[in-house]
Structure 1
């Protein structure tokens, strides 16, 4: 068994049983899709109570829905959190988590180059209301302390991030933030709760893009926030319902389907990732290889302390002198698809230089030479052969 953050029995219980009251829906093995917009009441006072606390009952599927509720319970338990909210996508989850905890005049400290839609919120939306953001590498607690101002109320973390996999020391940051009354939110999409439990390390809000490993099939979108019941209620009563960003019943059903196989998928993907990783080490086409659980990773010791594993993502830095070589490499891949995201059954590649024109490419800038590989469920040797023929066509190595 792989070193997941939960023991096997606990994982099995959460994934296969928690929240599933089968006697309430004809003993169906799979939870039903309760595809309804609203719910009826027989008593006026029951309706009044629902108006007063919509999170405690089923009133309108914009808020709480039975199919969505089953997913919420499972995802909260996986994070060892008191409660969870599920959103239409990860961007909505980040937006709600931040907006619920900042006010005009506040200051945010964020990791450098955060998730695109977090960055757009920090740069394009929040400044309209007098909220400012500072960006730091965030590799040490000293950086977070130095960036904190009297009006700092929020820390935004990504550990690991999605390109060079840099980490933040979560326990130290969480302790400092609690002492200062600063709310912390981490994007935990890279690890998911199976390989890292930020709530247990003291982080207030754990976010993951359920589109990725939770779904596992690249056919639906979703976002998750977990934390205390009080925090989830605060977000539900305001940003969640006001923006109407909650997940729909059919999407929740697809997430539950994906969650059934997450352990098996993680085991397969982890094994295959290590096989592909070994084949790329010392490869003549590659100047550097980045993977959090490889001994060459600069923060390897911190990775082992905070995470129980790493899954799927490898960043390679190609010995490319031109952007055209990287373009040829990516366009020559026959079986590895070129696409954003990760976590599904299919292997993917995305070049950092996709955001550049040819004249902007700098062969001396390692970021311009980055290609991120996601190892899916295919046979790893099948993927290695695909990479090799693409290296050759691009005259790399």
Structure 2
């Protein structure tokens, strides 16, 4: 199915809503039935009808169909956050006594779920270096039910060989879950490599305007039906109609935004690599990236997120650099219209800073929709502020 068709037309039955070019926001909590039998059938199969907007809603349904098509999946559920999508995907596939193999240092709230919530229900987790398939083999136990992946992750961009992991998982009847937030379905389709469930934070590139929080989970109709009838409805984590409408709006410009961001990131990357205060730049499509060949084989693009390591002997130098920026905002997340930066040292106490640890001197930069020269000029302000320091 053509991407342009999916984004601009697919699942939009305009004859159902007055031939309006833009789908309406069906802002209702409830749906009425004309007969008891119709209501009874909806109770029996809520996933096949509109009963209550905690479950399905016409505006949300348009978005679900588009996102599933983009991922090459049978079905899709949309959540009110990426964290909710992670929670439902994992919870649906574990029970007491089960074991999970996860890539090391996963997204904060995935790790919190593994370490603080699932352990209360006797579900154990083994963290591994996911860059080597041998580590999955070694960590797999008889009670392993889930492989949890992030490819790439959002700080140092390690990848997993998705096809190799999916093949191994199928040999052991293990469910594979992959966080695809970095790439979006336009730049990577894990389902095509055999991954069972693919999730992403739609807060980022799908929304694209930093005005909505949402999560996406795509997979087989059977798996998504199972999750809908249990975790999705019980937790009440479905997206609201207005936010779904915002995401449909965001999809309209997704290819153009990714194209612009990719072009800008390449220019900023080259500039950073030539700067004397930069020790290292980490980016999946940089030829010096350790998994460059795998990245090029699995991904169609690398979007706008990169990490650089600054030379600094004290934490105050990094703080001065960040504080001097006037246009690049200091904030979490990425994927919106605005460029963002976040220093790794913001997550540690001052007394814990170690200049000898490269990870303490990392800064993650997201290149937004501004021109490359505009972003570079602001970075120059940061470097000028620390020119005489140390």
Q: Same fold (TM over 0.5)?
A: yes
Whether the 8 Å contact between 1:324 and 1:358 is mirrored in structure 2 is no
Q: CA deviation at 1:282?
A: 2.5
Counterpart of 2:8 in structure 1 is 16
Please list the CA deviations of residues 261-298 of structure 1 after superposition, one character each: whole Å capped at 9, or x if unmatched.
00100010000000111111131010000010010100
Counterpart of 2:79 in structure 1 is 87
Q: Distance in 1 between matches of 2:334 and 2:152?
A: 14
Please list the CA deviations of residues 289-321 of structure 1 after superposition, one character each: whole Å capped at 9, or x if unmatched.
001001010000000111011000110000011
Counterpart of 2:269 in structure 1 is 277
Counterpart of 1:99 in structure 2 is 91
Please list the CA deviations of residues 164-223 of structure 1 after superposition, one character each: whole Å capped at 9, or x if unmatched.
000011100000001101001010000000100000100000000000000000001100
Query: Does 1:139 find its partner at 2:131?
Result: yes
Whether the 8 Å contact between 1:349 and 1:374 is mirrored in structure 2 is yes
Counterpart of 1:329 in structure 2 is 321
Query: Does 1:227 find its partner at 2:219?
Result: yes
Q: CA deviation at 1:244?
A: 0.3
Which of 205, 209, 231 aligns to 2:197? It is 205
Q: Distance in 2 between matches of 1:200 and 1:216?
A: 25
2:2 alignment partner, SS class: helix
Counterpart of 2:353 in structure 1 is 361
Summarize the alignment of residues 1-397 of structure 1 with structure 2, pairs less than 5 Å apart: 10-395=2-387
Q: How many residues align?
A: 389
Whether the 8 Å contact between 1:68 and 1:249 is mirrored in structure 2 is yes
Q: Distance in 1 between matches of 2:203 and 2:75?
A: 19
Q: CA deviation at 1:43?
A: 1.6
Normalising to structure 2: TM-score of the pair? Answer: 0.99
Instruction: Tell me which moved more, 288-297 or 353-362.
Output: 353-362
Q: Distance in 2 between matches of 1:328 and 1:30?
A: 46
Structure 2 gaps, min length 5? none
The alignment yields a C-alpha RMSD, in angstroms, of 0.9
Q: Distance in 2 between matches of 1:389 and 1:64?
A: 49
Normalising to structure 1: TM-score of the pair? Answer: 0.97
1:120 alignment partner, SS class: helix
1:59 alignment partner, SS class: coil
